[in-house]
């Protein structure tokens, strides 16, 4: 882990530079961010969104308030299954063009995302060199600087040179200190999702029929036994991204620079969970979990994560321990997103088969449970007698 945020509240950036951090940084950054009470419907077409985005930009930034609407352009960057990302370009009176990223939160995402936790972390991650600069806040979203890079694909993540860079940056990400409680939030979030998911009902009879097939008693039993097992691993606690899929990774090919973005699920959590969740995302949007990386690919990632300067000097026992840790938390990732999907099935207006996604992730959990449990139990037994 990085240095403790005490006294002068220093944060070490990715370049080794020391800057002011801690609660003082958080207060200073939030106080300087312009805010607007405008709310924008995430389901609007891009043509209908344009006028609302222009209104938002003029409300947030006084220097653009008198510009004619013809000076603004808006386009879609991506439309995920939680948020919607837009690019707004503004041609200023001087002729200079400024580009912004507009992130629209999906409705009711506060049930699965802790926005207070996100806002607490963002200034510290930004000062450490991660993500885009926060420029403005509005009722259901934020405005950030535009990153001139392309979004990675799932295939990109598996390329050795890209995987190595992700591993190195993830190590640095895990060294960022965010003030407040360092207690891991993973299981708190999972139990919260479980309680919310178990009490839902659906007006759509087809959705209700699918929902009724879920045995919440069985799911809770699985959650409890999995928590008991992972607790015994005593995995290191780090500030984790928790959603490192291809859509949250960007690459500037000309500069060879990789960016982590979108920290809304970020929290203190377990090292192995963050890595395992990333490996599960090799499946891509097609959810082909046969693409989960094999042991050789994982070990290459682990070497550059554990010792980026001397990756081939990592002791074998360290590689094995991280392999066991990661592939046990692999199961936790499936449980987390399975429960998340049930809540989204009720709350999200987006056209996505969330209940089908629950069954897909839960099936993957059950498919790999026996092998992952055996791996962990064997390792724990060996550790007792070593």
Confidence of residue 111 (pLDDT cuts 50, 70, 90): confident
pLDDT at residue 27, as a whole number: 54
Q: Which helix (H) or strand (E) element contains residue 242?
A: none
Half-sphere exposure of 99 (CA within 13 A, CB side): 11
Report, as an integer, the average pLDDT of 240-258.
Answer: 95
Query: Residue 70 pLDDT > 60, yes or no?
Result: yes
Confidence of residue 21 (pLDDT cuts 50, 70, 90): very low
Q: In what order do the strands lie in the sheet with 72-79?
A: 72-79, 83-91, 97-105, 141-145, 134-138
21-35, 106-120, 272-286: which has the highest mean pLDDT?
Answer: 272-286
Query: Residue 15 pLDDT > 60, yes or no?
Result: no
pLDDT at residue 115, as a whole number: 87
Report, as an integer, the average pLDDT of 282-293.
Answer: 94
34-52 pLDDT, tens digit per residue, is: 999 999 998 899 999 999 9
pLDDT at residue 13, as a whole number: 43
Report, as an integer, the average pLDDT of 47-72.
Answer: 96
The DSSP letter of residue 197 is H
CA distance 334 to 226: 11
Confidence of residue 281 (pLDDT cuts 50, 70, 90): very high
Query: Residue 250 pLDDT > 50, yes or no?
Result: yes
Report, as an integer, the average pLDDT of 360-370.
Answer: 98
Confidence of residue 1 (pLDDT cuts 50, 70, 90): very low
**Helix (H, G, I), strand (E, B), or coil: what is residue 226?**
helix
CA distance 376 to 321: 9
331-347 pLDDT, tens digit per residue, is: 999 999 999 999 999 99
pLDDT at residue 145, as a whole number: 95
Confidence of residue 300 (pLDDT cuts 50, 70, 90): very high
Average per-residue pLDDT in the chain?
90
DSSP string spanning 45-101?
-HHHHHHHHHHHHHHH-GGGTTS-GGGEEEEEEEE-SSEEEEEEEEE-TTS-EEEEE
CB 9 within 8 A of CB 110: no
Confidence of residue 23 (pLDDT cuts 50, 70, 90): low
pLDDT at residue 377, as a whole number: 97
- Reading the block at residue 382, the tokens are 């060996």
pLDDT at residue 84, as a whole number: 87
pLDDT at residue 350, as a whole number: 78
């Amino acid at each position: 882990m990085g240095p403790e945020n005490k006294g002068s509240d220093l944060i070490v950036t990715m370049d080794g530079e020391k800057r002011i951090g801690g609660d003082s940084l958080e207060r200073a950054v939030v106080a300087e961010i312009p805010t607007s009470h405008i709310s924008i419907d995430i389901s609007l077409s891009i043509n209908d969104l344009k006028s609302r985005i222009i209104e938002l930009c003029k409300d947030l930034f006084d220097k653009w308030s008198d510009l004619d609407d013809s000076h603004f352009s808006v386009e879609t960057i991506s439309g995920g299954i939680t948020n919607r990302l837009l690019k707004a370009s503004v041609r200023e009176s001087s002729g200079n063009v400024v580009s912004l990223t507009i992130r629209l939160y999906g409705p009711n995402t506060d049930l699965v995302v802790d926005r207070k936790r996100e806002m607490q972390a963002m200034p510290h991650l930004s000062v450490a060199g991660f993500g885009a600069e926060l420029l403005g806040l509005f009722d259901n979203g934020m405005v950030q600087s535009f990153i001139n890079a392309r979004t990675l694909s799932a295939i990109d993540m598996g390329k050795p040179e890209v995987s190595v860079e992700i591993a190195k940056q993830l190590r640095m990400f895990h060294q960022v200190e965010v003030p407040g409680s360092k207690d891991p939030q993973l299981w708190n979030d999972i139990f919260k999702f479980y309680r919310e998911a178990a009490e839902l009902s659906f007006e759509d009879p087809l959705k209700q029929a699918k929902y009724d097939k879920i045995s919440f008693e069985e799911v809770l039993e699985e959650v409890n036994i999995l928590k008991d097992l992972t607790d015994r691993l005593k995995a290191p606690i780090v500030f984790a991204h928790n959603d490192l899929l291809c859509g949250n990774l960007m690459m500037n090919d000309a500069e060879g620079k990789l960016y982590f973005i979108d920290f809304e699920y970020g929290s203190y959590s377990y090292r192995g969970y963050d890595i395992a969740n990333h490996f599960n995302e090799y499946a891509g949007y097609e959810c082909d979990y046969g693409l989960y990386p094999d042991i050789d690919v994982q070990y290459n990632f682990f070497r550059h994560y554990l010792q980026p300067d001397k990756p081939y000097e990592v002791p074998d026992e360290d590689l094995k321990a991280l392999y066991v840790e990661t592939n046990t938390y692999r199961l936790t990732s499936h449980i987390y997103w399975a429960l998340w999907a049930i809540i989204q099935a009720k709350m999200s207006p987006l056209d996505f088969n969330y209940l089908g996604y629950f069954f897909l992730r839960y099936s993957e959990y059950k498919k790999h449970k026996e092998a992952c449990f055996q791996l962990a139990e064997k390792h724990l037994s060996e550790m007792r007698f070593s």
